[in-house]
Structure 1
């Protein structure tokens, strides 16, 4: 095998992978939290499950683990400022939440009222891999809308790819 890939080389390569922008929230006994994530994907539809990655250095990791629940909110291109708030531009959690309208989901976590999709999850597994925690959530409730265009992140910038039809069109 050749030389190991450097951290910088890997990060630069991953910047070229287009990803949806999500705000992941939690609410429970440990308190309310939330962060912006592009590392999210489906795992399986039986049972319906998703995977979210969170930097283990985040002070919020214990909140998510103790609360045992989270909600993945897929953002629209209208949510750029909200993405910045939850990415750390606003440190105070009350200020982050004050920047949008929220709906309480079955788990108690908060869904963005106008998210393209909100996936309410119970934490099924949490594993530390390198610098990040991998959270696998079993989806217990879904809110979605049929219009809007997802906010995407590509080459270290938010991008907007307009579509003529929502995912339910045709």
Structure 2
């Protein structure tokens, strides 16, 4: 078995986009910062995200069944920290940014590089987390600011590809 601290050190070397996941519905509005998001397929367009079952977001997301994955741009590090701060209530978190309502009833972050409006199609458990398989129903593309990635426990800007 792999030592948990060694595993975490290894994962710190796996760079990932920084996202704010939000949900809204019967269970209420909730949001959190996450890097455990990736594409599954383009037919149908789908993503997966991993959420710790002990996180407040987990049960709210499961009940609401809809979410938006907001891909952050460089310069949105402070907002990422706000949505990662467990001491802040949801009203305070959401008040720190501007939002647009998507057709599926969940807000999208103004200024995000991309906002994927999704419906949860299935969930499975692995260890401490649930894996949410989500079909993309709506997509908004933002500007061409540098992307925000998390690598070696720090934020880094990732520039857009230069025009040819």
What TM-score do the two structures reach when normalised by structure 2? 0.95
Give distance in 1, aligned partners of 2:135 and 2:64. 14
Give distance in 2, aligned partners of 1:5 and 1:58. 24
In the alignment, does 2:126 pair up with 1:129? yes
In the alignment, does 2:140 pair up with 1:143? yes
- What do the CA deviations read for 1:82-133 (whole angstroms, capped 9, x no partner)? 0001112552100000010000112111100110000000011111210111
The CA deviation at 1:19 is 0.5
Q: CA RMSD in A?
A: 1.2
Describe the SS at the equivalent of 1:136.
Answer: strand
Count the aligned residue pairs. Answer: 164
Mapped contact 1:27–1:69 kept (Cα < 8 A):
yes
In the alignment, does 2:110 pair up with 1:113? yes
Q: How does 1:36-115 map to 2 (within 5 A)?
A: 36-88=33-85, 90-115=87-112
Query: 1:7: which partner in 2?
Result: 4
Mapped contact 1:35–1:86 kept (Cα < 8 A):
yes
Query: 1:27: which partner in 2?
Result: 24
Mapped contact 1:30–1:67 kept (Cα < 8 A):
yes
Describe the SS at the equivalent of 1:97.
Answer: helix
The CA deviation at 1:59 is 1.6
Mapped contact 2:114–2:142 kept (Cα < 8 A):
yes
Mapped contact 1:90–1:96 kept (Cα < 8 A):
no
**Dislocated runs of 4+, deviation >2 Å:** 161-165
What TM-score do the two structures reach when normalised by structure 1? 0.92
